[in-house]
Amino acid sequence: MAAPPPSPASSPGAAPYPATDRTVPTRSRERASYDRDAVHAILDAGYVCHLGFVRNGAPVVLPTLYARVGERLYVHGSTGSRPLRGAGEDPGLAVCLTVTHVDGLVLARSAFHHSINYRSVMVHGTARQVTDPAERATALDAVVDHVLPGRAADCRPANAKELAATAVVALDLTEVSAKIRTGGPSDDPEDLSLPHWTGVLPVSPGYGPPVPADDLDPSIALPGYLDRH
């Protein structure tokens, strides 16, 4: 399969993604966004996605790593996995990819109005397996650096055997939407006098101190990109 043209780099102020039947939510439409900068910011803030597809007539969802390069997502996997084999067939594999961040637990006076503050992105499209060596190298470095910026240059590159066992699929950002909730609880007026604590419990990701491997040479200093965490 010939490699497609490079993914175009997005620029600030670019036109929003078009709304489609699959990207317009049936509930809370006011929370949907098609702004490219907002979508990219949500994608760039995470590195674990959930990739959904249909296998033998049944839905399957796999968690995996990803990276964004311009208007394209690269998803990492094994050459033996069924979704990646399906992405290598013509015309590719129909998928739905999601990324979600939980920013807060919204605690209302009533159980019904409890919620979460979140940022999420949903991408529909056809995934294809990346076979061009140069694009594969770019994609794999992007995935490593997306998880931890600076790491790709600070480890041994994959050898031929490892590359043969590693697959990458590409998914262009064409049918995309974000959905975002912020703010506090929305209690019913008749519940406002109830004696229950209400508000938001913020949630944020965090990193602990780096733990060196047992066989690490003690003369090797902690890299700067780890020291920042």
pLDDT digits (tens, 9 = 90+) for 40-60: 999 999 999 999 999 888 999
Please tell me which of 4-8, 68-72, 81-85, 130-134 the model is most confident about, judged by mean pLDDT. Answer: 68-72
* CA pair distance 129, 37, nearest whole angstrom: 26
Regarding pTM above 0.95, the answer is no
Q: What's the confidence (pLDDT) of residue 85?
A: 63
pLDDT band, very low/low/confident/very high, at 167 (cuts 50, 70, 90): confident
- Domains in the chain, CATH or no CATH each: 29-183+222-227 (2.30.110.10)
pLDDT digits (tens, 9 = 90+) for 89-128: 667 899 999 999 999 999 999 999 999 999 999 999 999 9
Q: What is the overall mean pLDDT for the chain? A: 89
In the predicted model, what is the mean pLDDT of residues 85-91? 66
Beta-carbon neighbour count of residue 73 at 10 Å? 27
For residues 64 and 76, the answer to whether their CB atoms sit within 8 Å is yes
Q: Is 42 helix (H, G, I), strand (E, B) or coil?
A: helix
